[in-house]
Amino acid sequence: MPKRASRKSSDLCPGNSAECRLSASSSRGQASTLTTSEHAARLPAQDDSARVQPRGVRPRRPEPQAEAAEVVAHVRVAVEKELPSGWRRARLSDVVRQAQPGFASGKRDPSGVVQLRMNNVTASGRLDWSLPTRVPVGAGDVEAFRLEPGDVLFNNTNSVELVGKSALFEGFGEPVVFSNHFTRLRTDGEKLAPEFLAAWLLERWQAGLFRNICHRWVGQAAVQRERLLELEIPLPNIPEQKRIAATLKKQMAAIERARASAAMQLRAAQALPAAYLRAIFTSREAQRWPRRALGDASEIVSGITLGRQPRGSLARSVPYLRVANVKDGYLDLSDVYKIEATEAEIGRLRLRSGDLLLTEGGDLDKLGRGTVWRDELPECLHQNHIFRVRFDMNQFVPDFVSAQIGSQYGKAYFLAHGKRTTGIATINQRVLAAFPLMAPERSEQERIVNTLHAQQVRVERMRHALAARLTEIDAISGVLLRRAFNGDL
């Protein structure tokens, strides 16, 4: 049977976290300090998040209430000194007049009412209307769950990373309701401006608060209504709240435009390699190259079968590649399994530098994906769902063949000849062997590979630069939000 090494995860949170956070955030410009109620919410949740609870079983609170109260009292003295002049702290329960969850609906109705779902709230705190879901809703439910301008939607259930996303509803051209994965917050307008609340929730989400206080179970996390309403929000007066929210809205819009521009440039950079391949293998020059069946130009071998019983001499454990290890243009060797194989099997299936590895199936857009083996491991076999293609190195450059098969020319062939089932396509060895391989002179293959390599280096530089720019833009967003709620905006 295949084997894999077991891995031990380290603890994510050290002890005395309250004191550590206080000392780390004593100066302006650092990550904002958790408020009194946020510490109170976090304390009983620390051990809950370290293990998976059986479905339907309420996690045990590991810390006594007296101990939690003592830490909360200690934190209160420190954080209250940090409020700007004229600000105060208030529990959400004292400034929010309604906190109502939505309703679940598994049905769809093209003529129904728009229902906002988790995917409609972006990571930047906006509502995305590009993919609205319409559901059948009775008049009574429309009245009970209809959103009004100024409502704040808090995403109470999602993945651990995304739970707590929030957005301000500013109106729509027709009635809109919301799913049970949201809590609708309506503020007391004389105490809390809804746009200020939405911005504060976004800052708290970016700071990781909701990831820390949520209850977790398999695949999901939730922030309970009571925990949410226990949180304390720093409040200036209403005119100042509205000024801060308006300033943030303007600045965040500029950040969003910059981010969209950088993201568009990154997508364009990511599309360049395919464009380079298309330019080469659909050129007039390529049309004149001689063609050979891949099976005539190489040796094609399927790999080792799992679950078989080794015969003859004693077997030993060796690494082998699975489909999950072979990507489109590269190898992922972060998790390599081992298998028992005989010396005869090892001698026959051991990979050599320059072998082209191709998968036999998968999603339609990944059919025939592969890359070149470069002796990344001293000894390695391959599974039977991976084909090994071995060339006469005096006639072919493996990277040239790999690029050709990965181009639109190669993908079109496999899509046309692969066997399809629902969402899956496969190729067999016969189809692979019949692939019409463009076979120019080896010197021309080398020239093309060198050109592609130089282009790839430039693309990678562009990708890294644009990815770094996106990271910087996201960091600016966090800085602005922290400044706003430190009274520095």
Residue 307: what pLDDT? 82
Residue 310: what pLDDT? 75
How many other C-beta atoms are found inside a 10 Å radius of the C-beta of residue 486?
A: 18
Q: For residue range 57-82, list pLDDT tens digits in order.
A: 334 444 444 444 443 443 344 344 47
How many other C-beta atoms are found inside a 10 Å radius of the C-beta of residue 176?
A: 22
pLDDT level of residue 10 (50, 70, 90 thresholds)? very low
* 21-235: CATH superfamily: DNA methylase specificity domains (3.90.220.20)
Instruction: Tokens 């301000």: give the residue.
Output: 168
The values of phi and psi at residue 157, to 5°, are -140, 125
Check residues 110 and 70 and name the one with the higher pLDDT. 110
Question: Of 305, 326, 450, 449, nearest to 376 (Cα)?
Answer: 326
Q: For residue range 207-259, list pLDDT tens digits in order.
A: 999 999 999 998 899 999 999 999 999 999 999 999 999 999 999 999 999 99
Q: For residue range 335-347, list pLDDT tens digits in order.
A: 999 999 999 999 9
- Read off the DSSP letter of residue 289: S
Q: For residue range 115-142, list pLDDT tens digits in order.
A: 999 999 999 999 999 989 999 999 999 9
Long-range contacts of residues 19-22, Cβ cutoff 8 Å, at least 24 apart: 22/75, 22/78, 22/79
Q: For residue range 269-312, list pLDDT tens digits in order.
A: 999 999 999 999 999 999 999 999 999 999 999 999 988 877 66
- Residue 459 pLDDT exceeds 90: yes
Check residues 80 and 324 and name the one with the higher pLDDT. 324
- Residue 1 pLDDT exceeds 70: no
Q: Are the C-beta atoms of 430 and 366 separated by less than 8 Å?
A: no
Instruction: Tokens 């004389």: give the residue.
Output: 190
| The pair of three-digit structure tokens given for residue 311, joined into one six-digit string | 């015969």
- Residue 39 pLDDT exceeds 50: no
- Residue 48 pLDDT exceeds 50: no
Across the chain, what does the average pLDDT equal?
A: 85
Residue 424: what pLDDT? 80
Decide which of 3.30.70.141, 3.90.220.20, 3.40.50.2300, 3.40.50.261 is the CATH code for 290-439: 3.90.220.20
Q: In the chain, which residues fall in CATH 3.90.220.20?
A: 21-235, 290-439
Query: In sequence order, what are the residues at sequence separation of 6 or more whose Cβ sits closer than 8 angstroms to the Cβ of residue 481?
Result: 199, 202, 203, 206, 248
Residue 38: what pLDDT? 52
- Residue 411 pLDDT exceeds 80: yes
pTM of the model: 0.67
The pLDDT > 90 percentage for the chain reads 74
| The pair of three-digit structure tokens given for residue 41, joined into one six-digit string | 């919410």
Residue 73: what pLDDT? 43
Q: Are the C-beta atoms of 201 and 154 separated by less than 8 Å?
A: yes
Check residues 53 and 186 and name the one with the higher pLDDT. 186
| The pair of three-digit structure tokens given for residue 97, joined into one six-digit string | 């007049």
Find the mean pLDDT for residues 154-161: 97
Q: For residue range 418-438, list pLDDT tens digits in order.
A: 888 776 888 999 999 999 999
C-alpha to C-alpha distance for 363 and 367, rounded to whole angstroms: 6
Query: In sequence order, what are the residues at sequence separation of 6 or more whose Cβ sits closer than 8 angstroms to the Cβ of residue 227?
Result: 41, 213
Residue 313: what pLDDT? 65
Residue 308: what pLDDT? 84
